[in-house]
Amino acid sequence: MTVTNKVQVNQTQGVNHSTDWFTRVATFSPKFLLLLLIVPVFGGLIGVLLPAFGWAPALNQYSVGLQGFNALWQTLGLTQMISLSIATGLISTVLAFVITLMILAAFFNSVWLDRIQQILSPILVIPHAAAAIAVGFLIAPSGMVSRLFSPWLIGWELAPHGIFPHDPYGISIMLGLTLKELPFLLLMALGALAQPELGKKLRQQHKVALNLGYCPITAFFKVVLPSLYPLLRLPLLAVLAYASSSVEMPLILGPNTPPTLAVAIMQWFNDVDLNLRIKASAGALLQLALTGGLLVLWLLGEKTVKYLFCESLTNGKREYGGTYWQIITAIVTTLVIVFIALALVGLVLWSVAGFWRFPATLPDSFTLIHWQSAVMQIGEPLFNSLLIGIITTLLAIALTLLCLEYEQIKGKLLSRFTSLIIYIPLLVPSIAFLFGLVWIQQLITVQVSFISYINVIIAHLLFVLPYVFLSLASSYRQLDPRFAIVAASLGTKPSKVFFKVKLPQLFVPILIASALGLAISFGQYLPTLLAGGGRISTITTEAIALANGASRRTSAVYALMQMLLPLIGFILAWVLPKFIYKAARR
């Protein structure tokens, strides 16, 4: 965290030599940002578009045609793959959204909302793979749930025949995705409500509705939600895009006869039979269309809901069984929290378990050898994770701050086009452009020993930037402009205003954005694997290589390590300011 400051401070030094350097850099930054995002994403898309239509120099194929798509249509179970992708993506997003709304509605303006957020927000930093592993442990036939009830209640001596995880209907995937996306959406909503202007207005309007006799849940849906929803739209679309095209969760929790479309595409890309790559590229385009279709469907659904319920907003009805919903929400929330807690307890137990035969609820003995053997092999991956994470985050923060400063210099918000492009990596399925991106990166390989690091950092930046931007933008835009005006009127240069006036005020948001950036970077699997050419191992690539199917004990250790890294970041972001302010006050 302190590094962030030093880099910024040293930029100040640079500014002192050439007067207008800073403004020029700030003016150039949005263009650089666009370039950094557009080139890899659209380049990557072209890199799958060409092979999809048969142009693949790698395979000595130069004829343009539809053979890739023909092969794709003939794939057995394609319909099932598509429907599985659609169902898991859509249902998990809807579920996560509905539960988020229920929690918000039932606990709006209550202390419980903050408590629930505190309990759920650590889950935000858990990488998807680790979360999938934890969920798998819980719902497997030999998992914590059946161990808790066996053998005293059910009499199972051997693990029962179950369907979870890997059930053909994708329920396990939906469960995993819902639990993972719920805290994200909740946090996004609370983040929106934390904006001073909007938050205060909505809370007061909620209070007005209560005074007018509306039950709290109805008041939330009729008064708060219509104003809150536009701020949730983008996170929702990102969740939907991710859920319909992700690889980690369906790989660990999903069926394989057939798998989801995204997993199948990844398997075709990695298949020994290289001609499958044409089909895989065609599949990537299909995935793109599928995700795009879902996004459009969501927007249409939004319009329909708005149209259908527009009337009832003002029909004066104040109560829709609010008490029951309150109880149901309390039950659902408790279940979610208990479920997550059990999964985490299970993870911790497995990581220190000796022999632990089903149906024992606790391990026969405890041992640290799983941790010891992991710690012995963790040096390089840990170093790589930290190096890539820190550089990526620093770049993302610097670029974001410069772009936001450009907004203030220019006196208007970034163009709609730019704001849309920033979120493009979140809305385009990564499987659709990463393979093309790797192809392009190989095309322009420079022989520098750390080239793969640069490639990985660029790939990570695509996913870190949007989140850092999302997390910093609102705080930056809400800075009271009068401070800057006062400083400028005293003859302070723009660069000095930026570094000496604005950044110190943004200390806490910058720390939080850094922690978020680090967490996102730590969790990246496909980008690290592909862009790094497999040469760069991080905690996450190790966790998936070792943990995908391997021993529960090793998986548990790696999943916990995956969680610990970002958690440390967030704890630092939380503790440092208090510590520093305390010191300053003295």
Return the residues of window 71-110 that contact another protein according to CB under 8 A: 76-77, 80, 109
For residue 356, count other CB atoms closer than 10 A to its CB: 18
Task: Please tell me whether residue 197 binds another protein under the rule CB under 8 A.
Answer: no
Question: In the complex with another protein, which residue's Cβ is closer, 95 or 267?
Answer: 267
Taking CB under 8 A as the criterion, the residue among 442, 481, 486, 578 binding another protein is: 442
Query: What residues pair up with 353 in beta bridges, in sequence order?
Result: 366
Residue 537: CB minimum distance to another protein, A: 6
Quote the CA–CA distance of 449 and 451 in Å, as a whole number: 6
Which residue type is seen at 254? G
Question: In the complex with another protein, which residue's Cβ is closer, 307 or 490?
Answer: 307
Question: In the complex with another protein, which residue's Cβ is closer, 321 or 483?
Answer: 321
Question: In the complex with another protein, which residue's Cβ is closer, 9 or 485?
Answer: 9
For the four alpha carbons of 401, 405, 406 and 412, in that order, the dihedral sign comes to positive
Task: Please tell me whether residue 214 binds another protein under the rule CB under 8 A.
Answer: yes
Quote the CA–CA distance of 103 and 217 in Å, as a whole number: 10
Task: Please tell me whether residue 571 binds another protein under the rule CB under 8 A.
Answer: no
Taking CB under 8 A as the criterion, the residue among 94, 159, 295, 567 binding another protein is: 159
Task: Please tell me whether residue 422 binds another protein under the rule CB under 8 A.
Answer: no
Span near another protein by CB under 8 A; candidates 138-146, 283-291, 296-304, 409-417 = 138-146
Task: Please tell me whether residue 204 binds another protein under the rule CB under 8 A.
Answer: yes
DSSP label of 415: P
Show contacts with another protein in window 244-263 (CB under 8 A). Answer: 255-258
Residue 280: CB minimum distance to another protein, A: 10
Question: In the complex with another protein, which residue's Cβ is closer, 168 or 321?
Answer: 168
Show contacts with another protein in window 474-513 (CB under 8 A). Answer: none
Q: 449-457 long-range CB contacts below 8 Å, 24 or more apart?
A: 452/531, 452/532, 452/533, 452/535, 452/536, 453/387, 453/388, 453/532, 453/536, 455/531, 455/532, 455/533, 456/388, 456/527, 456/528, 456/531, 456/532, 456/536, 457/388, 457/391, 457/392, 457/395
Task: Please tell me whether residue 354 binds another protein under the rule CB under 8 A.
Answer: yes
Span near another protein by CB under 8 A; candidates 337-345, 424-432, 551-559, 569-577 = 551-559
Task: Please tell me whether residue 274 binds another protein under the rule CB under 8 A.
Answer: yes
Task: Please tell me whether residue 378 binds another protein under the rule CB under 8 A.
Answer: no
Residue 317: CB minimum distance to another protein, A: 4
Residue 511: CB minimum distance to another protein, A: 19
